[in-house]
Structure 1
Amino acid sequence: MRTFKLTSLSAAILAASALVPTTSQATGFIDDSSATLGIRNYYFNENGVNGNAFDRKEWVHGLQFSYSSGYLWDMIGFDYGAGTAVKLDNPANRTGYSVTNLPQDGSSTADANDIAGTNIANLKAKFGDDKMNANIRFGLQRTCTELYCPSGSRILEATSYGTYIEGNIESLKVYGARWTQIHSRNNSFFAEGFQDAMGDEIDHLYIFGAAYKFDNGLGLYAEWGNSEDYLEKQFLKFDYTFDLGSGITLLVDGRWADAEEDGNGYATQGFESTYWNLSGTVTVNDFYVRLGYNKTSDGNWDGEWHANYQQDGVYNSTLDQWQGYNREDERAWIVDIGYDFANIGYPGLVANTYYVYGTDIDDASLAAGANATSSDDNAHEWGHYITYTVQSGPMKDLSVEWQHFRVDNPVGGDEDTNRIKIRYDIALF
């Protein structure tokens, strides 16, 4: 486990928090504290089809303890979290077994190890009031922005080590981050540094962004990031909701992003990729329909910021489903339909289904693919999500979700996937 490297900011915070507070000063620190115990049970059953030999089955149970303090002197606090995950079943006699929720057992690909350890540990400070304020976090945290977000798709979440600063002036938000390490979603170690394609250390990753929400509902968003001697990215977004009356709304969402190599640490010199994405969502009371389009140009989009993990980069498009639909020259469309059953007598039950079609994938991307039975440039995907959350009683807020994806992927191979996720958070205080 790595120890904290104290910056001048963290040293100042620690020194201040070490002072003996009066009872009134400590009241908010104690009274506003909260702790939860998250219980997770995930079952994955993923199989290759149409000649794809991929085969993965995992049944894993996890616990996540999370504590968030209030603010001492209404300014200083800290968060702490620790998790553990154990395998309930995995086919240890299968060769080529791909582990996702847990780490592989040494060099073996046929078994997995259990994990446990700290995954959140950060100091936090806040200043100002509701109209003008600043918030700072330093340490291990799960803070997401438009282009950077540690993965939350496994039994335990990935987190990042670094400093995040956010300022709010009424409707304007500006923020910046300096990340230096990552805590993997499927390992016990505290944090490890970033590496480039050559195996050399990436010292830091910078993120800067801003967002503004106009009184009429128009939202504008911009973000820039740079991973030292590796990649540089830019992202722009707008969204606006039209009220069409009678409980009907239309949300229009447009996004553009660009990435290019920024040093000798990136494997492909001269790399560049751009995508633009447009979608519209019509909501009628508890029912919605979403249509989206995405076009990727110049190269396959690389959402990552470093070469040693695949857990924190973001491909921020509405077409990012099981497949990303972000290969060079690919054009893709999505139709997504969802419904909340609360008003017809089934509160807590929500469901959606979607279909995605991609075409015109660049020949070079197809040639590098893994699906030997497919030589066309089309990709297809049909997915379903059904979630039920208990609304009352001793098991209130327990949720059960079934996910199913049927994927025709000319690059990565065809798959049929079922996942069952059970989640239950207990408020300890």
Structure 2
Amino acid sequence: MHRNTFTAGLLLAGGAFGLPGLSLADFAKDSKASLELRNFYMNRDFRQRGATQAKAEEWAQGFLLRYESGFSEGRIGVGVDALGLLGVKLDSGAQRSGTQLLKQDRETRRAQDEYAELGLTAKLKASRTLLKLGTLQPRLPSVAYNDGRLLPQTFRGGHLSSQEIDGLTLDAGRLTQVNQRSSSDYEDMTVSNGSAGGIGVKSSKTSDAFNFAGLTYQWSSQLATAYHYGELEDLYRQHILNLTHSLALSPQQSLRTELRAARANDAGSSNVDNDAYGAMLTYRFAAHSLGVAYQRMAGDTGYAYIAGSDPFLFNYVQFGDFANRDERSWQLRYDYDFAAMGIPGLTFMTRYITGDGIELGAGKANGKEWERNTDIAYVFQSGALKNLGVKWRNATVRTRHFGNDLDDNRLILSYTLPVW
């Protein structure tokens, strides 16, 4: 699409936000656009006895068009962002749907041939403070959008971010609806938390308001602390503390320490009651990284977060979050960058997580689970395929006394083409 035509269309959309009268040059300045092509194949085999579905297997093509305008001149700069999403079915079946790659028909549960979304965001900037209104993809401890399938999750609302004081970042906002990663419909939000064996949140209510606020202070290049608050109205309130420290041991060695603690309780119409604690140490030596994490749940329910989003947990991995009621879990992770062997663009990651002590209800044995993940990714560095990314993701999940046993494989090809 011609640059001026595309920008002019966004100017017209900006009028819907009450931003008329801005010149084309104001928006075009410093603007950028890109098109990401994402080809996603997923195969999940269910291994537990009595599984109602043998496997979920689908293949789809995604198109993600992103546009970011510049800002108009003046004390308050004005701009508009746009996000266009399209998912197209390449292969599915009545007995193989449910990977969340594709939107399903509400009645037949069959995967639809395609689904799409257009999101527009107005933005106002003054000094080092930015306000966004419209389609949002927040990445905060209190709420983080999920991008683990063909198309990403999006929200509607407002987000104010300010860095007027050196080292201090302030965030505040309100979300009103969510569009899940395999949907094209905005809807009210619900709460997700550890519910193994049916022991979890006992509320069927939805909410059209998630209020959040937080501050992060960078004390030095090595130390940062943060506090964040989130409230899904009528369902839960949550306080989150975070500390991150990096220690350089030598030019090729470092030790990263991160601590997290969260407290969530009922906001009127649920039984949410959770304390969550976690710590992770990561030792890096040249191209090698070795990490160890511990995560602990306490209270009457598991960890509370907006259903479909990414929870702020060390042991939230490819399949599980290891955040059930009373669960204790450990993670051991290893990463390697093959650039050290003369193969830039090739990376490897493997991790093993085990959890136990899961409360499943009166008279029942405690639940246990483990998960093993492996990622191998390569981004072509030159030639006709430059910037083409290929990733294979594998997960093996086994549980005791609850949940699904499964083997999960995903092959993802991605290529981002700058439009300008």
How many angstroms does 1:123 deviate by? 0.2
- Tell me which moved more, 402-411 or 284-293: 402-411
For residues 126 and 284 of structure 1, the distance between their equivalents in structure 2, rounded to whole angstroms, comes to 41
Alpha-carbon distance in structure 2 between the residues aligned to 1:103 and 1:329: 34
Decide whether the 8 Å contact of 1:115 with 1:187 is kept in 2.
Answer: no
Paired residue for 1:126? 125
In the alignment, structure 1 residue 88 sits paired with structure 2 residue 85: no
Q: Which position in structure 1 is the counterpart of 2:302?
A: 301
Give the one of 373, 384, 406 matched to 1:415. 406
1:7 alignment counterpart? none
Contact 2:263 2:275 in 1 (8 A): yes
- In 2 relative to 1, CA 36–409 (structure 1 residues): closer, same or farther, beyond 3 Å? same
Q: Quick one: distance in 2 between partners of 1:208 and 1:251?
A: 26
Structure-1 residue corresponding to 2:162: 167
State the percentage of identical aligned residues: 24
Task: Check if 1:384 corresponds to 2:382.
Answer: no
Runs of 4+ off more than 4 Å = 10-15, 195-201
1:82–1:365 distance in 2 versus 1, CA, 3 Å: farther
* Correspondent of 1:356 among 348, 353, 356: 353
Q: 1:204 aligns with which of 193, 198, 209?
A: 209
Q: 2: CA distance between counterparts of 1:337 and 1:195?
A: 34
Name the SS for the 1:316 alignment partner: coil
8 Å CA contact retained: 1:259, 1:301: no
Post-superposition offset of 1:143:
1.8
The answer for unaligned runs of 5 or more in structure 1 is 1-9, 368-374
Distance 2:384 2:26 in 1: 29
**Secondary structure in 2 matching 1:409:** strand
Residue 258 of structure 1, CA deviation = 1.3
Q: CA-atom RMSD, angstroms?
A: 2.3
TM-score by length of 2: 0.87
Report the alpha carbon displacement of residue 30 of structure 1 after superposing the two structures with TM: 1.2
Q: Quick one: distance in 1 between partners of 2:153 and 2:133?
A: 16
Structure 1 SS opposite 2:361: helix
In structure 2, which of residues 133, 137, 142 is the aligned counterpart of residue 142 of structure 1?
A: 137
Correspondence 1:219-234 to 2 at 5 A = 219-234=224-239
Letter matched to residue 299 of structure 1: D
SS at match of 1:343: helix
TM-score normalised by structure 1 residue count: 0.85
1:339 is aligned to 2:330: no
Instruction: Please name the residue that 2:257 is paired with.
Output: 252
Deviation of residue 195 (structure 1)?
5.7
Number of the residue aligned with 1:179: 175
Tell me the CA shift for residue 200 of structure 1: 5.4
Please give the secondary structure, in 1, of the residue aligned with 2:339. Answer: helix
* Counterpart in the other structure of 1:371: none
Maintained 8 Å contact 2:22/2:72? no
| SS of residue in 2 equivalent to 1:192 | coil
Q: 1:311 is aligned with what amino acid?
A: G
Does the CA contact (< 8 Å) of 1:399 and 1:422 recur in 2? yes
Shift of 1:119: 3.9
Name stretches of at least 5 consecutive residues in structure 2 with no aligned partner: 1-12, 192-201
| 1:29 match: secondary structure | helix
Mean Cα displacement is larger for which, 34-43 or 193-202?
193-202
CA distance in 2, matches of 1:87, 1:405: 23
Partner of 2:277: helix, strand, or coil? strand
Q: Distance in 1 between matches of 2:184 and 2:280?
A: 39
Aligned equivalents of 1:365, 1:212: Cα separation in 2: 44
Per-residue CA deviations over 1:245-298 (Å, capped at 9, x if unaligned) read 14100001100011111112x2x3xx3011100110000111100001111111
Partner of 2:47: 49
